[in-house]
Structure 1
């Protein structure tokens, strides 16, 4: 069986195709990445811009052709922070479905954190124990408390590289007020997450 997975992120789009082996492990047979910055300007405007949507659609059309060529049996797709928060996020996903045939699901931040934790737990180098998994993305940062291989607590913070650039860059130059506001908001979110996670013991 071949499984294709698509991640529509705020900064980049990823395609991974793997073959499931008889022992239920998997072998990666194709990997692709497109830096489209779908979330650029989306966090300040509240919607995905037309240029970023066009870039994303071109990348997803390419992904769809690759998936067809590899004859994937299962196709899984998720969209994260930029699509999740944009007022036209669902309209964009409908256009993706119309143009490419790909069904991409818009997932909540806690589900994104859970999937990150599950992926970490599946790594050959993973050691059982109590861990805090942190994933910093373009539009959000996910935190998950992982006990052995089981995600226990999941948090999603509105902190990310593309979101920071949107908040700070004013007329193509860094703005001090935007940076101050962003840092203050990030501290508030991180403080709240810390209070929810501080009673956990990590290895």
Structure 2
């Protein structure tokens, strides 16, 4: 059995998951999240600021300690939309590798969607034959059409929650008007991608922290609910409740983190748009994501694992390799 760690460097937070791998079987041991909004820098100025990089470095130092303490043998870290677009991504990656001995790989939106889709397919869900996997991130959304467990088409669109929030704030619009404007700009891209598949009824498989939050929010509004299932009618009702609350009220009444409360309505409206355009009435929420896809990928492809020896000799060797480069 091998212990691995997966790190998802997202636009609205950085996540660490630790799991045991035995052949192709994986077992999640522990998961952590640090709320660092890289997208607030990257989507606004095009670079990760010095202050944000300091916070990111401290987070990775903490991750490194956790990884060492928990006896992890291999680690893999990937960066998504915020790092893809940051002009100083190379410098950010080099600093993290030099100081924390963790190498970050920046992946494409399409690769991100594939890893998430593979995580869903390897979960315990009884998936229907025709699905639409929909992931909402901070910088982008990923749409993946799946027929009979095979990916038919995939598209990444720059319409994540943090990116839309940045646009609303820059334009000085109110929350509802700002979301209306932002969704109007991406509606055509989503509709044209989904158009060839509208005649075949599909269940949306929704992933990402915001969709998981919407599933759990049903408890606050409905007596009977299943957090793994969200109907379009329930989603519309939740939107109505969220629209009546300020961001502060969402943190106080719904116990949401501040960095969730300010984007949850954006996510709910995005999910509604995709459901309506795909003629779907129900969303299934598997509670897996990119980090789970990374763990599965490490189990299936051992050669792709990045060695992270936690012994003293291993760290010396790693430092030597970093110095040479």
List runs of 5+ in structure 1 lacking aligned partners: none
Alignment correspondent of 1:138: 138
**Aligned residue number for residue 82 of structure 2:** 82
Q: 1-side partners of 2:196 and 2:41: how far apart?
A: 31
What is the Cα-based RMSD across aligned positions, in Å?
A: 2.3
Partner of 1:72: 72
Question: What stretches of structure 2 of length at least 5 have no aligned partner?
Answer: 204-325
Which has the higher relative contact order, 1 or 2, with Cα contacts under 8 A spaced 6 or more apart? 2
Q: How far 1:179 moved relative to its partner?
A: 5.5
1:166 maps to 2:190: no
> What pairs with 1:115-194 in structure 2 (closer than 5 Å)?
115-170=115-170, 174=173, 182-194=182-194
Question: How far apart, in 2, do the equivalents of 1:97 and 1:196 lie?
Answer: 44
Aligned to 1:9: 10
Q: Give the secondary-structure state (helix, strand or coil) at the position aligned to 1:139.
A: coil
**Aligned partners of 1:34 and 1:115: how far apart in 2?**
21
Higher helix share: 2
Partner residue in 1 for 2:281: none
Structure of higher CA gyration radius = 2
- Structure (1/2) with the larger strand percentage: 1
- Residue in structure 1 matched with residue 236 of structure 2 by the alignment: none
**Helix, strand or coil: the match of 1:170?**
helix
| Contact in 2 for aligned 1:113/1:144 (Cα 8 Å) | yes
CA distance in 2, matches of 1:110, 1:147: 17
